[in-house]
Amino acid sequence: MKAPPFAYAKPRSLTEAFDLLERPGAKILAGGQSLIPALNMRLSSPGLLVDITGLPGLSTIEARNGTVRIGALCTHSQVERSPEVREHLPLVAEAVAHIAHPAIRNRGTLGGSLALADPNAELPACALALDAVLIVAGKKGERRVQASGFFKALFETDLKPNEILLGAEFPKATKSVFLELARRQGDYAIVGLAAARRGAEKRIAFFGVAATPILLKPTSLEQAKKSIPTPNGDLYNSPATKLHLAGVLLERAWTTLS
């Protein structure tokens, strides 16, 4: 199918972008790897696409003191190849390699993935496990949101209409584990897990089990197992199968994190 008709604008500054986003029916377009298929399937019909890929300063990856800041317009491929991400955020480096295929990773962005909040996506779970801070801008200025308060419901985040996600700051974490079960390499996960250790604390974020990624901070493996919520089933896997698979991933992750 073809997308319904829409107008298109490519602002060159945040001020221009915020003005455009005030128009009725305006929607942000980044890599287009989720939004354009949704338009083509007529699941969305915005009157104006505001293409933010021309905004300056949102495509950099910077390691500072204890964090790595990744700009919202960094593509998954850029994140995958980044030496800073590989060194300080091995969890994110491993996770992005599981996102779709190279053609999609070449265009899809970190900001798009976090803003979309697909419950089966890898990066929202990484943001939760690493306790990332998301940097959001609106006409009145910037605000910072902990990942734990950002993912509100199915495809719903703390972003207000007309706000733009500028990037995310991830605390450096070298002790981590990423595990994902998918039908084929590049498919969305059936169930997956992003986990990191911070001091004595184990932070385990499941994806593909509920409407949002779910963060557990268990003190024992038994407690962790009991805390996994009964997952939603999908076309091929029952809730019981997914719960079993989540438990298997958890046991594997526990050994690596301990």
Q: Which residues bind ligand FAD (CB under 6 A)?
A: 27-35, 37, 52, 72, 99-100, 104, 108-109, 111-113, 115-116, 118, 121-122, 159, 164-165, 188
**Residues facing residue 165 across a β-bridge:** 136
Min. distance of Cβ 156 from ligand FAD in angstroms? 11
Within 8 A by CB and 6+ apart from 220, the residues are none
Angle at 13 between CA 8 and CA 19, to 5 degrees: 60
Closest to ligand FAD by CB, 40 vs 146, is 40
Residue 184, CA distances (Å) to 86, 210, 240 in order: 24, 21, 21
Q: How far does Cα 149 stand from its chain's mean position? A: 14
C-beta nearest to ligand FAD: residue? 108
State the minimum distance, in angstroms, from the CB of residue 37 to ligand FAD.
5
Residue closer to ligand FAD by CB (options 181, 221) is: 181
* Minimal distance, residue 192 CB to ligand FAD, in Å: 9
Closer Cβ to ligand FAD, 71 or 231, answer by number: 71
Q: How far is the CB of 88 from ligand FAD (least distance, A)?
A: 21
Could you tell me which residues are beta bridge partners of residue 206? 193, 214
Do residues 133 and 168 make contact, with C-beta atoms less than 8 angstroms apart?
yes
CB 124, min distance to ligand FAD, A: 8
Q: Between residues 96 and 224, which has the closer beta carbon with respect to ligand FAD?
A: 96
Lookup: tokens for 53: 């890929």
| Residue with smaller CB distance to ligand FAD, 224 or 245 | 245
What's at 86, amino acid-wise? Answer: R
DSSP state of 54: G
